Amino acid sequence: MSTLRVPQQVPPASEDCEQLKKAFKGWGTNEDLIISILGHRNAAQRKVIRQTYAEAYGEDLLKELEKELTSDFERSILLWTLDPAERDAFLANEATKKWTKSNQVLAEIACSRSSHELLLARQAYHSRYKKSLEEDVAHHTTGDFRKLLAPLVSSYRYEGDEVNLTLAKSEAKLLHEKISDKAYNDEDIIRILATRNKAQINATLNHYKNEFGNDINKDLKADPKDEYLAILRATIKCLVRPEKYFEKSLRLAINKRGTDEGALSRVVTTRAEVDMNLIKEQYHKRNSVTLDQAIKKDTTGDYEKMLLALVGHEDA
């Protein structure tokens, strides 16, 4: 579901490129002009703009933007202007380089994208970094984290809605046994999460709750400080209720202790064309302020304007 508002009459890419070139000229960069163009074009249109810009001026638009812009505004524009698969490859690479046990970005990319999107991200990774995502994940992670993340990033799930209820019952029972035994890194848990289609996982987890009384993520909160369990819970949420996962990511990014601009930019740029309306509804319900209000309160200047444009704010 796309929530990005694109103007009814979009000018040809050549015109957008002329305007962008103008925005870079003169005494200072015209950030408003850049936002009014790139912040209101969908993925296909941004791709054509980049190609047209390279043909017309012999320059890479991303490099031009990098040269002209700074800080969080620069990052949000660059992430947004990338093709979705390139963006995922870039974010995944960054996550492997800055790997910490509380880093959920790899699970987020592996589980909230469709099989086809994940495949495209892996191809983009290969082409950009001259190695595979699986290789980097295996190299930069250890122990239980590697055991979970390596199969997640290399999975290619069936995308259909077919559900085997007998299997859902038996696998719910299996999950409950392993979790009761605190065998959180058991290969059966990982196999179910990494291979089953999302509708099947949903059915299994519904059966788990009906049969054993608790939501599975509640049972996986046995030790709130355990970072492996946190990634396991994030994996499950991304597979079955991504809008809840992303609402929580935004809530934690916009908090009283200071904004986590990295997470804010990542979630807004990766979800603006996917399920932003659902995330906004969830955010409003959970926080009693709208996401737009929270962004306005927590950010300033061009960065604020860009984020508001992407979350579909009517004044953007």
**Binding-site positions for Ca(2+):** 24, 26, 28, 68, 254, 256, 258, 298-299, 304
The overall longest dimension of the chain from CA atoms, in Å, is 68
Q: What HEC string does 234-259 produce? A: HHHHHHHCHHHHHHHHHHHHEECCEE
Residues 268 and 3: beta-carbon distance below 8 Å: no
Calpha distance 139→153 (Å, rounded)? 13
Residue 262 is which amino acid? G
Q: Which residues are annotated as a binding site?
A: 24, 26, 28, 68, 254, 256, 258, 298-299, 304
Please choose, from the candidates 202, 283, 214, the residue with its C-alpha nearest in 3D space to the C-alpha of residue 244: 283
